[in-house]
Amino acid sequence: MADADAGVAPNQTLVLNYYRNLWWKSGEFSSKAKWEEVTLPYVLVDNVSLREYELRTDKFNIRGVWEWKNNKVMIYELPSKPHETCIYAINKVISRACTAVDYTNSRILNLGATRTHADDSGKEADSCFRPMKARVPAPTGSDGESEPWPNVVVEVAYTESTDHVLEKVKEYWLPDLSRVHDVIVVKIDPVPDGEIPLRMQAWHFCVNDRRTRSAPPEARTHFEFGTYDGNNPPNQLNIVPGMCLINIDLNCLYHEAYPGTQIPTPPTLPDPIVLDFYQVLDEFLCAYRV
């Protein structure tokens, strides 16, 4: 039973569990489940094989909100407008930064929320990018076989805790040199329905920053880019273009690119690729303007 259900009448708990289980059984994310009252992480279902988890996520087009670990399907992130809007905004900035190599063998592929599994866990990034890459020796691939790992992963957390999303970066995406190369994390502080989120933070991790083979990298970049920061009382932030930047080196973006790929050089693409989070914030806030 979730903590939020403590003290709830047994018949009401049965009703809530019925509607919550609909997400697993039929893909229905029901308002009658009162997901806003759930304490995350939430165990959606137990004793589930990886194969069944993958079949359900494909069938119901579940991307980035279910995770599979130790035969349990866990929920750390709930579908929300802030979560989806921020993902779209970041994807747009990254894709536009790489426009000059579209339709060439140097193109950067947006693989969306591609499913991955390793270490008896199954996860989907909110979005991911890579150049064309050769297949890798099984079972080291991102699919547990020979599918190459993405080079850049984007994780956006709204209902997901900061601790969990950063733990996922260090223990799953960047545990060693064999998986993802760079990870961008955005944490949006939740607000009541109908309000505009105010506080947003961004981190950039790069596997090149590992100090030892066993130690995960620390964040290369960390900044706040919302309209207010996390101080008490919060300070209003006046973000301007060029103030909040994440830089992706071309040798990171094209790490282990397919043999024969023509790695671009300036001026075709700048080195590094510069992602301006003023643009992310501007695109994000436009979704709240009426």
The pair of structure tokens assigned to 121 is 């866990």
DSSP 38: P
- 226-253 mean pLDDT: 97
Res 290: pLDDT: 64
- Domains plus CATH for the chain? 3-75 (no CATH), 81-286 (3.90.1570)
Q: State residue 211's pLDDT score.
A: 80
Per-residue pLDDT, 38: 93
pLDDT at 21 over 90: yes
Within the chain, strands assigned E span 42-45, 66-69, 72-75, 109-110, 115-118, 121-124, 127-130, 152-157, 182-188, 200-206, 221-224, 245-248, 273-276
For residues 71-84, average pLDDT = 95
Average pLDDT score over the chain = 93
pLDDT band at residue 39 using 50, 70 and 90 as cut-offs: very high
Report yes or no: 131 and 109 within 8 Å, Cβ to Cβ.
yes
Q: Name, in order, each residue with C-beta under 8 angstroms of 135's C-beta and a sequence gap of 6 or more.
A: 141, 146, 147, 148
Residue-wise pLDDT tens digits, 206-231: 999 988 777 789 999 999 999 999 99
Residue owning tokens 């806003």: 36
Average pLDDT on 161-175 reads 95
4 has pLDDT over 50: no
Tokens of residue 138, six digits: 């099984």
Closest to 279 (Cα-Cα) out of 237, 253, 243: 243
Residue 13 is predicted with a pLDDT of 84
pLDDT at 233 over 70: yes
**What is the band of 11 on the pLDDT scale with cuts at 50, 70, 90?**
low
The answer to which of 9-18, 238-247, 252-261 has the lowest mean pLDDT is 9-18
Give the mean pLDDT of 124-137.
96
The whole-number pLDDT of residue 86 equals 97
What is the rounded average pLDDT of the residues 194-206?
A: 96
**Residue 192 vs residues 37, 82, 195, 196: alpha-carbon distances, Å:** 12, 11, 6, 8
Whether the pLDDT of residue 158 is over 90: the answer is yes
- 65 φ/ψ angles, rounded to the nearest 5 degrees: -115, -20
Which range among 115-124, 142-151, 243-252 shows the weakest confidence by mean pLDDT? 115-124
